[in-house]
Homo-oligomer: A and B are copies of this chain.
């Protein structure tokens, strides 16, 4: 049904080989026939089949991307970074959602293998280390963004969670806070642990012994709801400031404050993590640790391109920045 070079060949009265050459402006073909063939091709609305080309060339110019959820504002921008760099390099992006589920992530990678993508990028992988053992079977390079699993793995781009968390807590310490809480994320084991380390590092360096009561652990699944549910715990532990696992959690916490008529930052300072757009819109605008999200995607894709060119690459650990807004304030001593 689709127009092929054979159809064109029949009409032009030449062999399909000649058509193939004429369409790529091969100098071996006479200018006359080249023009004639190209005219016929455009009249017929011919489009070359990338499928056939891939079968022959053994590459699909496709990179497979596995994400937990596209609707997550953090993920969305990482994907955007990947897509931009990919498009500029003539690669396309095949997207699969894993719902942060182990089996689905594995199934996704298998699907991508079947489709013979040239490379795979996985954001927030749950099974990172699996890839090194499976890598003999996966010929495509696998690049991990913010891998969520301990253990060995090959190529990765990640944000420095320890440094970021430390930045957040140091900021609160400088404002005079001593009772600083941390709201954990139960479903992001590795980055949660590393942010906790950064939190504790900062406290210890300031000569403060971390108090377990200030570390709030909740099994509530969604980020915002977890933040909302954690306010009571924070207050009960006597926190005057709270560092949250991420922005959505912090936003939930701010919403709970508003409901309880608690004024942030006067009565409670709040710091988030990620730097999503929504931090600009909430009241008060949220002080947060900004991850270079777009850059994360770009670098992952650039690394992928290098790997496809058989170049050496180095794993990346990107630093975060403190973005100062209005949800943190100097602690007021209760007299």
* A interface residues with partner B (beta carbon < 8 Å): 1-2, 45, 47-52, 54-55, 58, 60, 62, 69-73, 76-77, 79-80, 83-84, 87, 92-97, 110-111, 113-116, 136-137, 139, 224, 251, 254-255, 258, 277-278, 280-283
Contacts and interface: CB of A to CB of B under 8 A. Distances in A.
Contact of A97 (B83, B111, B224, B281): B83
Given A55-B55, A115-B92, A84 B97 contact: yes
Contacts of A224: 280-281
Nearest to A104: B87
A80 B84 contact: no
A215 to B, nearest CB: 25
7 contacts: A70-B70, A70-B77, A71-B77, A72-B76, A83-B97, A84-B97, A281-B281
A251 B282 CA distance: 9
A2 B139 contact: yes
Contacts of A255: 280-281
Interface-centre pick from A71, A114, A251, A255 (highest chain B CB count, 10 A): A71
Given A47-B113, A251-B281, A87 B96 contact: yes
A4 B139 CA distance: 13
Contacts of A96: 83, 87, 92-93
A76 B71 contact: yes
A307 to B, nearest CB: 16
A168 to B, nearest CB: 20
Nearest to A53: B114
A115 B281 contact: no
Contacts of A50: 114-116
Contacts of A58: 1-2
Given A49-B114, A51-B51, A282-B282, 20 more contacts: A1-B58, A1-B139, A45-B136, A45-B137, A47-B113, A47-B137, A51-B55, A70-B76, A72-B76, A73-B277, A76-B76, A83-B96, A92-B94, A254-B281, A255-B280, A255-B281, A258-B283, A277-B278, A278-B278, A281-B282
